[in-house]
């Protein structure tokens, strides 16, 4: 069956106390909206419609960066969840199949849960995702009658008896798209909030002789985010899952609680991640690598057998081939480090190629920026770059060449040459002894 997603994200999110729309606040480096879209992507939707409102332009940008085919519609006034879903009507006018309503602020719905909902659709006209709440609070309550879901009552409109029900509405609803829009047409706003409630469609459907049922999931899955405190809980929830998943995939985390993953981090089997490692977006680590303590990685690729850190920083475009070593206080940006090369101490390598088996001495810096433009440094294979070499880009060091330590290299170095670019050493015989004597005598006299 064809599936379209309708993801609601127009709400203001007042309790975030933010200039940024709520659905753009990040969890593990990606907007919560993207997490919701990724959940829905498990259904392989034919169409995805995001309903934006507050900060619509920014929401559209985020949605399209995840999936360029996303259709974004704008709900200019937030008149309720039914009114929000109605904004997707035009985008789905020629769509035949099921619509699934998700919330942009509910990022953790699992693929199995959505699969259970589409399965339940085979036997019921409307399927609502519910959960048994520990503290039902202000959630809508699901009112059952025999084996059918009879209606949903919002907390503000509920009687005491209805409020005692603990089976709550997650907000996720599946129905045939045409049926859904038909039912929404019949929704009014004569209720405690004066809003058009999507939840009213159940009662309307039942009165029309349609069937409705509930699929249940764990409460943690339906967690909605309304405040910074809940955002922090969501982050912790995500990290807990990501750590568990990594270990399940054969990755060793020596101190799991101190490792922070991004939403898209990929780590291969038998890789070891030491304590206090942070992953930004876009990192792939192959099998059998070691990421040592206190390293920060983003937008990079680390190959099999490479060792990174401790205290290393890999920035976007860092590409480490097999068995590369990047040591302490080394920063690599937009650079390819070929197989077996070593950058072990206190270096900056940016906008560069480093050839296989080359050794980059401590304190080496690629001077890539002239204040206006960025320039490239090319270092061949099997080179030895002396400690504290400044490579003033654009510059090329040929294969098997050397630079003397402390050199400032401003011209290309041919293969096999040694480049020394520093003042020649001059030893003045006995000068230090004479100078010390003079200074000490002066100090003695003065005191």
Do 326 and 301 meet the contact criterion of CB atoms below 8 Å apart?
no
Per-residue exposure over 166-196, b if at least 16 CB sit within 10 Å of its own CB, e if not? ebbbbbbbbbbbebbbebbeebeeebeeebb
Q: How many residues sit close enough to ligand UD1 to count as binding (CB under 6 A)?
A: 28
Residue 295 in the binding site for ligand UD1 (CB under 6 A): no
Closest approach of ligand UD1 to the CB of residue 223, in Å: 9
Query: Closest-CB residue for ligand UD1?
Result: 140
**Site for ligand UD1 contains 136 (CB under 6 A):** no
Site for ligand UD1 contains 227 (CB under 6 A): no
Binding residue (CB under 6 A) for ligand UD1 from 4, 5, 6, 11? 11
Q: Which of 66, 103, 131, 263 binds ligand UD1 (CB under 6 A)?
A: 103
Cα Dmax for the chain: 110
Task: Give SS3 for 431.
Answer: helix
Q: Which of 45, 140, 203, 327 binds ligand UD1 (CB under 6 A)?
A: 140
Element (H, E) at 41: helix 32-41
Residues 222-241 that bind Mg ion (CB under 5 A): 224
Catalytic residue set: 345
* Burial environment of residue 34 by CB neighbours within 10 A (0 to 12, 13 to 18, 19 or more): buried
224 binds ligand UD1 (CB under 6 A): yes
Residue with Cβ nearer ligand UD1 (10 or 338)? 10
Q: Which phi and psi angles does 231 have, rounded to 5°?
A: -60, -40
- Per-residue DSSP letter, 94: T
Minimum distance between the CB of residue 306 and ligand UD1, rounded to whole angstroms? 42
Tokens of 193: 């909030």
Cβ-based nearer residue to Mg ion, 102 or 306: 102
- Residue 87 CB, shortest distance to ligand UD1, in Å, is 8
Please state the closest distance from residue 9 (CB atom) to ligand UD1, in A: 5
The region, left, alpha or beta by phi > 0 then psi within -120 to 50, assigned to residue 112 is alpha
Cα separation values, 36 from 25, 66, 110, 232, Å: 12, 11, 10, 17
* Under rule CB under 6 A, residue 384 binds ligand UD1: no
Q: What is the 3-state secondary structure (H, E, C) of 15-40?
A: HHCCCCCHHHCEECCEEHHHHHHHHH
Kindly state whether residue 51 participates in binding ligand UD1, applying the rule CB under 6 A. Answer: yes
Binding status of residue 191 toward ligand UD1 by CB under 6 A: no
- Please report, as ranges, the residues that interact with Mg ion according to CB under 5 A: 224
- Please report, as ranges, the residues that interact with ligand UD1 according to CB under 6 A: 8-11, 51, 53, 75, 78-81, 83-84, 103-105, 139-140, 152, 154, 168-171, 197-199, 224
């Amino acid at each position: 069956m064809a599936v379209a997603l309708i993801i609601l994200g127009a709400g203001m999110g007042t309790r975030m106390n933010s200039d940024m729309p709520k659905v753009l606040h990040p969890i593990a480096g990606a907007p919560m909206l993207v997490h919701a879209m990724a959940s829905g992507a498990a259904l392989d939707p034919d169409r995805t419609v995001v309903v934006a409102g507050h900060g619509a332009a920014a929401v559209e940008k985020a949605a399209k960066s995840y999936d360029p085919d996303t259709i974004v519609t704008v709900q200019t006034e937030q008149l309720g969840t039914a009114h929000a879903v109605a904004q997707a009507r035009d985008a789905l006018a020629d769509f035949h199949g099921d619509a699934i309503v998700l919330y942009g602020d509910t990022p953790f719905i699992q693929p199995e849960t959505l699969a259970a909902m589409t399965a339940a659709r085979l036997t019921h006209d409307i399927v609502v995702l519910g959960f048994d709440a520990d503290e039902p609070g202000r959630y809508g309550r699901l009112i059952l009658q025999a084996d059918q879901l009879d209606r949903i009552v919002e907390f503000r409109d509920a009687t005491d008896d209805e409020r005692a029900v603990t089976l709550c509405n997650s907000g996720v609803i599946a129905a045939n798209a045409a049926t859904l829009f038909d039912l929404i047409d019949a929704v009014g706003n004569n209720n405690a909030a004066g809003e058009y409630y999507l939840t009213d469609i159940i009662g309307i459907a039942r009165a029309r002789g349609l069937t409705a049922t509930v699929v249940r999931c764990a409460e943690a899955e339906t967690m909605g985010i309304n405040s910074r405190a809940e955002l922090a809980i969501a982050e912790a929830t995500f990290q807990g899952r990501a750590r568990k998943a990594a270990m399940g995939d054969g990755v060793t985390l020596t101190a799991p609680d101190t490792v922070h993953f991004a939403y898209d981090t990929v780590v291969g089997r038998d890789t070891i991640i030491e304590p206090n490692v942070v992953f930004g977006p876009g990192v792939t680590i192959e099998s059998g690598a070691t990421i040592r303590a206190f390293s920060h990685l983003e937008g990079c690729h680390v190959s099999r057998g490479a060792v990174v850190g401790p205290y290393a920083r890999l920035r976007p475009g860092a590409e480490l081939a097999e068995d590369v070593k990047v040591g302490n206080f080394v920063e690599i940006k937009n650079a390819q480090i070929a197989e077996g090369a070593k950058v072990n101490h206190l270096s900056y390598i940016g906008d560069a190629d480093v050839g296989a088996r080359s050794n980059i001495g401590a304190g080496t810096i690629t001077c890539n920026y002239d204040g206006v433009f960025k320039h490239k440094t090319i270092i061949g294979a099997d080179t030895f770059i002396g400690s504290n070499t400044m490579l003033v880009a654009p510059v090329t060091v040929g294969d098997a060449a050397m630079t003397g330590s402390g050199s400032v290299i401003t011209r290309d170095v041919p293969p096999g040459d040694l480049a020394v670019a520093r003042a020649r050493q001059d030893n003045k015989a006995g000068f230090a002894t004479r100078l010390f004597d003079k200074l000490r005598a002066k100090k003695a006299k003065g005191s």
